Amino acid sequence: MINQIKQGGTATLIKIAFRNIWRNMRRTLFCFAAVGIAVFFIVVYSSMIDGMIKCIFDTVQVYELGHVRVVSEKYEDESEYMPVQYPVADGRSWKELAQEIEKLSGVRAVLPRITTMATLQDSTVKHAVLWGIDIENEIAVNHLNLTDRNDGLIEGRWPARGTNEIAIGRAFAHKSGLTVGDRLMFKTISAQYSEKFLRPQIVGIFNFDYIKIDERYIVIDIERLQSLLVMDEGTQSLVIYADDAQMASGIAASVKNILGEGNVVTEWRDNYWVAVMKMVTPIYTVVFLVFLIVASFLIINTVVMIIHERIKEIGMMGCLGMTRGEIVKVFFFESIFMAAFGALAGVVLGGSIVAVMAGSPVKFMEYFGNTFADMPMSNAIFFEFNPLILLRAWLMGVVIASLFTLIPSLKSAFVEPVEALRR
């Protein structure tokens, strides 16, 4: 046997270690379960967190900033009041600006948007946000309903260009008791600080599956809102979409050169919630490591028990000529096998569940209500199935569990052969 070890080297030690893990199936299965459960939770929670982060990124890009947003400096200073008297680029036609920006490499679309407050008349809902958008192009560029990946319209149609028509959210319609065909009277303030009244007809009801918009927003054609607010062809903001979100920095720099001073150009990565999610991601990694470390203690205990139960065997190995290093390797390889198989089981089970959940969104707000309504998050989140998550979880399971069993493995090297044979 010793000659075989000398000739085979590490490969022979690995074979011995592999055979040894099956000598006590109950003990081995406990180790598999400990690491497997930890890795399973890492896979599931990593996928859920990545899905939640992607949901926030998508929401910010679709509804708030696009990949790059342009507003005037004065608007940025008073943005919480949604002022309309500070248009982009001193009131230049948004169409001219859009044509100029669309010539930039990597720009997919440039969309105008106006948001302003409205006071509702004869309605149980007293305040709302008028959202003036180029509806046809918005639908062509974005999935306004992030859950179903469609335009979000559930009843009626979208307002026609330049008409006194609006669409309201499902939650808004439910609270106010309004439906398609009804008229809604509201008042707003124009760019000239004058009161403007409008009594448009509701022609559509949408469900964006985003509680902030579904409860508060009234969608109106941007040309009609420009006319109502006396903004001519100016717009409150321009939202720019790139072929690739990672190109935002370069596009933002080019847009700044085009528009010059007096305007604020913001990337989607500058959003508060995007920055927060990037900062907390390392914290999740630390939590996952804690899971693994706790699970690794079961393997540590198991290896210690193995050494104690096989003390005579260790003595025999020493008497037959195995070195301390070779004895340590045998026990260490056993630990690696247990960690690897346990982690693999966790990855397979967790990956299977995530693969199923990736196509079935979790209705987040159904469980938490409006608690997170201020977060830019759709009501539903998808689990993010990513092979890299599975590989990372498996490697974390193997590496952490193996490292934590190195110390008890070293213990086997300090067993004196003669003393071990006396026991």
Same domain (yes/no): 55, 88: no
Same domain (yes/no): 91, 231: yes
Residue 359 counted as domain residue: yes
**DSSP readout, 265-333?**
EEEGGGSHHHHHHHHHHHHHHHHHHHHHHHHHHHHHHHHHHHHHHTHHHHHHHHHTT--HHHHHHHHHH
Same domain (yes/no): 315, 381: yes
Residue 71 counted as domain residue: no
Q: Which residues 6+ apart lie within 8 Å of 85 measured at CB? A: 191, 192, 193
Q: Which of 183, 212, 235 is the last residue of a domain?
A: 235
C-alpha span between 329 and 324 (Å, rounded): 9
> What is the total count of domains within the chain?
2
Same domain (yes/no): 98, 231: yes
Closest to 128 in 3D by CA, of 167, 88, 85, 74: 167
Same domain (yes/no): 231, 89: yes
Provide the residue range defining the domain that includes 290. 2-59+274-422
Cβ count near 342 (within 10 Å): 29
pLDDT tens for the chain, 423 residues long, are 445 444 456 787 788 778 877 777 777 787 788 788 888 888 888 888 888 888 889 999 999 999 999 999 999 999 888 999 999 987 678 888 899 999 999 999 999 999 999 999 877 788 999 999 999 999 999 999 988 889 999 999 999 998 999 999 999 999 999 999 999 999 999 999 999 999 999 999 999 988 889 989 999 999 999 999 999 888 999 999 999 998 999 999 999 988 888 899 999 998 888 888 888 878 877 877 777 777 667 666 766 676 666 666 666 766 767 777 777 787 788 878 888 888 899 999 999 999 888 877 777 665 555 555 567 777 777 888 889 889 988 888 888 777 777 776 676 666 666 655 565
Same domain (yes/no): 342, 218: no
pLDDT at 344: 92
Q: Which of 215, 235, 255 is the last residue of a domain?
A: 235
Residue 401 counted as domain residue: yes
Residue 350 counted as domain residue: yes
Same domain (yes/no): 103, 231: yes
Q: Which of 217, 235, 253 is the last residue of a domain?
A: 235
Same domain (yes/no): 212, 133: yes
Eight-class DSSP state of 145: B
Same domain (yes/no): 349, 388: yes
Cβ count near 24 (within 10 Å): 14
Same domain (yes/no): 43, 137: no
C-alpha span between 348 and 60 (Å, rounded): 33
Same domain (yes/no): 227, 278: no
pLDDT at 273: 86
Same domain (yes/no): 157, 46: no
Closest to 48 in 3D by CA, of 358, 321, 310, 289: 358
Residue 261 counted as domain residue: no
Closest to 288 in 3D by CA, of 30, 53, 43: 43
